């Protein structure tokens, strides 16, 4: 087959943009040139990718739908190839920037960074802690090399992620809350009281289910814990947050008929930038220490 990467890029761009003319304008090319490239790709592949008789907007054929994800993967592999070559040319990194969700368990992170400092004594490390969403944003804006965050569904396509471990979720209320005196709180009982939830509603973290009409939201598990500690409601929190030393004696873990599934901890990086030896080494250490507490 004689198709080119440029033709694959145009195929994906038209499929995602639903318009030959829009892609042509974005690339500052004639629409006929874009259409011709797609036609040649179809000829090489032996299938029609677009139904051009369906109206002004081209629609993917069944073959086009089947091949679209394959085409995307070809482009992703090209990004990985470029990133890997760049990493090999650069050698060991002089600076490693790690962005983490602020609710990440601190002991595994600190133990991993301590080991990193001994293994790579000349490496400069910059650690940033952020609320949910900011970690991925830092990676996309190239303000971080590695991201440590909790799994959620809508991860940008430019990022690659690796599962490291899990963190147990628990149901808690303040020591002075009426629920604290109950040995067991089922859903019907929890619904009667204000629930503290992670914001925004589309965070897709485990424990994002709203049980009743009374809800407050916060963008940090630690802020949620502070609200719960003051008797403003109950919440589902990562166990290590509920057991934070400052909250000892202030938070009560409730037995209930349902608790969210564990949070999945993921290491995330850009697909088009290969990790250097120090970053790869740190990834292994983080997985080791997180699995130890899981």
Write the burial class of residue 128 (CB in 10 Å: 0-12 exposed, 13-18 middle, 19+ buried): middle
Say if residue 13's pLDDT is above 60: yes
Conformational region of residue 217, where left means phi above 0, alpha means psi within -120 to 50, and beta covers everything else = beta
Say if residue 90's pLDDT is above 70: no
Q: Which of 53-57, 173-177, 187-191, 196-200 has the lowest mean pLDDT?
A: 53-57
Task: Measure the CA–CA gap between 203 and 216, rounded to whole angstroms.
Answer: 15
Strand partners, 252: 173
What pLDDT shows up at residue 99? Answer: 94
What phi and psi, each to the nearest 5 degrees, are found at residue 274? Answer: -70, 145
Do 176 and 242 fall into the same domain? yes
Do 268 and 161 fall into the same domain? yes
**203 falls in which pLDDT band (50, 70, 90)?**
low
Stronger pLDDT, 170 or 130, i.e. the higher one: 170
Number of domains the chain contains: 3
User: Residue 69 is part of a domain; what is its CATH number?
Assistant: 1.10.10.10
Say if residue 193's pLDDT is above 80: yes
DSSP per-residue string spanning 225-257:
HHHHHTTS-EEEEEHHHHT-GGGTTTEEEEPBS
**20 falls in which pLDDT band (50, 70, 90)?**
confident
**55 falls in which pLDDT band (50, 70, 90)?**
low
Can you give the residue range of the structural domain that contains 59? 5-88
Do 174 and 250 fall into the same domain? yes
Chain-centre distance for alpha carbon 107: 21
Do 281 and 144 fall into the same domain? yes
Q: Which of 155, 138, 156, 285 is nearest to 147 (CA)?
A: 138
User: Residue 233 is part of a domain; what is its CATH number?
Assistant: 3.40.190.290
Mean pLDDT throughout 80-94? 72
Do 242 and 137 fall into the same domain? no
Stronger pLDDT, 240 or 204, i.e. the higher one: 240
User: Taking the complete model, does pTM exceed 0.85, yes or no?
Assistant: no
Mean pLDDT throughout 202-231? 84
Task: Measure the CA–CA gap between 88 and 80, rounded to whole angstroms.
Answer: 12
Question: What sign has the CA pseudo-torsion 246, 250, 256, 258?
Answer: negative
Do 235 and 115 fall into the same domain? no
Say if residue 1's pLDDT is above 70: no
Task: Measure the CA–CA gap between 126 and 29, rounded to whole angstroms.
Answer: 43
Stronger pLDDT, 31 or 88, i.e. the higher one: 31
**100 falls in which pLDDT band (50, 70, 90)?**
very high
**18 falls in which pLDDT band (50, 70, 90)?**
low
């Amino acid at each position: 087959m004689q198709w080119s990467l440029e033709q694959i890029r145009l195929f994906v761009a038209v499929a995602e943009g639903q318009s030959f003319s829009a892609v042509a304008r974005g690339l500052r090319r004639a629409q006929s040139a874009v259409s011709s490239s797609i036609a040649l790709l179809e000829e090489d592949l032996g299938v029609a990718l677009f139904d051009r008789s369906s109206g002004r907007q081209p629609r993917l054929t069944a073959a086009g739908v089947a091949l679209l994800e394959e085409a995307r993967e070809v482009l992703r592999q090209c990004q990985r190839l470029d990133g890997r070559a760049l990493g090999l040319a650069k050698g060991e990194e002089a600076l490693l920037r790690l962005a983490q969700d602020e609710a990440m368990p601190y002991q595994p992170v600190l133990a991993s960074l301590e080991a990193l400092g001994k293994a790579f004594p000349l490496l400069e490390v910059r650690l940033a802690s952020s609320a949910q969403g900011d970690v991925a944003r830092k990676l996309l804006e190239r303000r971080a090399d590695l991201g440590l965050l909790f799994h959620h569904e809508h991860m940008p396509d430019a990022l690659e992620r690796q599962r490291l471990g899990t963190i147990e979720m628990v149901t808690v209320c303040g020591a002075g809350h009426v629920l604290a005196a109950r040995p067991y709180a089922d859903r019907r009982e929890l619904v009667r009281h204000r629930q503290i939830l992670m914001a925004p509603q589309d965070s897709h973290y485990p424990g994002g289910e709203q049980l009743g009409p009374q809800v407050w939201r916060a963008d940090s598990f630690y802020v949620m814990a502070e609200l719960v500690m003051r008797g403003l409601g109950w919440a589902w929190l990562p166990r290590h947050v509920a057991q934070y030393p400052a909250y000892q004696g202030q938070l009560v873990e409730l037995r209930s008929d349902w608790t969210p599934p564990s949070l999945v901890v993921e290491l995330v990086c850009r697909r088009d930038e290969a990790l250097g030896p120090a970053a790869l080494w740190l990834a292994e250490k983080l997985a080791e220490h997180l699995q130890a507490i899981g």
